[in-house]
Structures are given as structure tokens and as C-alpha cells.
Amino acid sequence: MEHIFRKGQEGAPTFLLLHGTGGDEKDLLPLAESLNADYNILSVRGEVSEGGMNRFFKRLGEGQYDVEDLNYRTQQLIEFIKEASEQYDFDLAEVIPVGFSNGSNIAISMMLDGAISFKKALLYAPLYPLEISSDHDFSDVTLLLSMGENDPIVPVEQSERLERIFTGLGADVKTVWVNSHELTPAGVYFGKEVLDK
């Protein structure tokens, strides 16, 4: 998979950067620098093309996921992260997904898979309309959900549903409401707060 790896301080956690639709592996590098410049960075480019725009999995329409492809791409990304951890010598237990939009959505899919136990995740503008079973235990997970009150892509009820689900699964959820489908200084500020927990 096309990616960028940047070594941080020895023993530092690793940001797994997952861009939004139409982005690439360079998009979230400034966000990672703002969150913590000492961390390792593994930034991945989605391998699906939708009208020439990079994505991490196929969809049938806005908010309509191709579940078969989502599951396939989730496994593919998990395997890539495991291989990268050996190649670049970083601790899988200290990987922190940082996703925006489509990147947040595949991050959620990986978290639900459980093959890698992510302890923290920063999810900006997520949308996950699929059913999530209640047998997941996220009691050792700390999450940022940065969601838009006037998001043209993600309805507020879907954002509130995701917050309820993660809280119900035991996660320590920090929710920040911003205006739209966006990354904001408030999102960075509260992202740092989650990282410091």
C-alpha cells in the first residue's frame, strides 16, 4: 500500500493516519504534527478509486457501504499495519488511528474487528451506519469523536448514535461538536487531551 512512515522519538506511539475521500497519505501530516510531533507516523493511501478519488472502501451511495468490500479492505489494512510494524519496528499495541471521514470509518471497522487492540483513536467526521453488536468490550479504549452539528454528509442523529454505541460498549468517549464536515482547532485541542489520558 502507498504510504509514508516517519520515525518519531524512540519508544513513542505511532499515529495511523487515514485520510478522507479524495485525499492521500500527505493530507493528515499537518494534523499529526499539531497533535504530537514526537510520535511515529504511518500514513496510508486508500486503494479504492471512486471517480478518481482515493477511498479506503467502496460504497453504493452516500452512507451506503459495500459491506463485503469494507470487510475485505479492513483485513487488508490490518495485515499491512502488522507488516509495517515489523518493517519499521514500532509497537502494535501503541498504534493510534487518526481518521477523517472515510478514514475514520475504516478505523471503526478495524476497531470492531479486534485483530489489533487500539487503546486510543481520534475520529474526525465519522459515519458508521452499520449495525454494531453489543458484545464488544471497549472499556480500555479512549476515543475522540469530532462531529458536525451542520454536517452536510453525516446527519446529527447518526453522530449521536455513534456516541451512544461507543459509550454503551464501555469506551471513554470525548465528544466535540464542530460546525461541519471538517477538522478544526477545537478538534486538535481535544485530540491532544485524549492523547494525554
Decide if 181 is catalytic: yes
Residue of 43, 101, 104, 109 marked catalytic: 101
Helices 102-113 and 67-88: angle between axes, nearest 10 degrees: 80
Q: What is the pLDDT of residue 159?
A: 97
Nearest alpha-carbon partner for 50 in 74, 69, 32: 69
Cα distances (Å, whole numbers) of residue 101 to 43, 75, 90, 183:
15, 19, 26, 10
Q: What is the pLDDT of residues 111-141, one digit of tens each?
A: 999 999 999 999 999 999 999 988 899 999 9
Fold assignment, 3-195:
Rossmann fold (3.40.50)
Q: What is the pLDDT of residues 65-101, one digit of tens each?
A: 999 999 999 999 999 999 999 999 999 999 999 999 9
pTM tops 0.85, yes or no:
yes
Q: Where are the domains of the chain?
A: 3-195
Decide if 101 is catalytic: yes
